Amino acid sequence: MATFSLQALHDEIENDPQGIGYKEVGGAWKEDNVICDLINAKNYKIDNISIPMEEVRAATTYDGYNDLLADEQEWIRWMTPNGGNFRVTANMKLQLSGRSLASDGNAGSGNDNQSFWSVSESGELAPAMLALIEADGSRAEVLWGKNNTVSIGEVGHAANL
C-alpha cells in the first residue's frame, strides 16, 4: 500500500486507472467536491486492519468450536487470548472465512468450505467471520489504507501540481 501524497492523488485523478470518472469529456477535472465524493465513495471491498478478539469469540458457536480439531481449537484460543485486536492476515482470513485477502478493491476469493470450520458449520461461521474481516471501502482506502479519506482541499492542491 502506497503512502498518501498530493502527487499520488494527482496521478490517481489524472490517470483514472479504474475509470471512476474524475474528468469531464475533453479531459478537464471535475469540480473538487465531485472528485472528493467519487474517491471517497464506499464502492470497494477492503480488509479491516484488525478485529476485536471478543467479536471472533462471540461469533463462534459451541458446535462450530466443538467440531474443530484440538489444534484448531488451540489456535483460536492462542490467537484470541484476551481483550484486544486480532490482526487480519492472509492465514487468519483463510482459516476463519475461507477467503483470500481483498485485493485492489475486490473481495477476497474462496468459499465457506475453504475455512477450517466443519462442513456442517462453515455455512454459518465463515460468513459471520467474513462480515467481521471484510468491509466496504473507498478508492482512497484501497490506495492509502483503511480510514483514509481525501478532502476537497487536497483535491484542489493536487490539481495545482
| Cα→Cα distances 138→23, 24, 46, 106, Å | 18, 21, 8, 11
pLDDT above 90 covers a percentage of the chain that reads 98
Same domain, 91 and 108: yes
Q: Return d(Cα 87, Cα 111) in angstroms, integer.
A: 21
Same domain, 70 and 98: yes
Same domain, 133 and 92: yes
pLDDT of residue 70: 97
Q: pLDDT of 14-68, one tens digit each?
A: 999 999 999 999 999 999 999 999 999 999 999 999 999 999 999 999 999 999 9
Same domain, 87 and 154: no
Same domain, 90 and 61: yes
Residue 18, domain extent:
6-42+147-159
Same domain, 50 and 117: yes
Same domain, 75 and 30: no
pTM of the predicted model as reported, rounded to 2 decimal places = 0.89
Tell me whether residue 142 is in a domain.
Answer: no
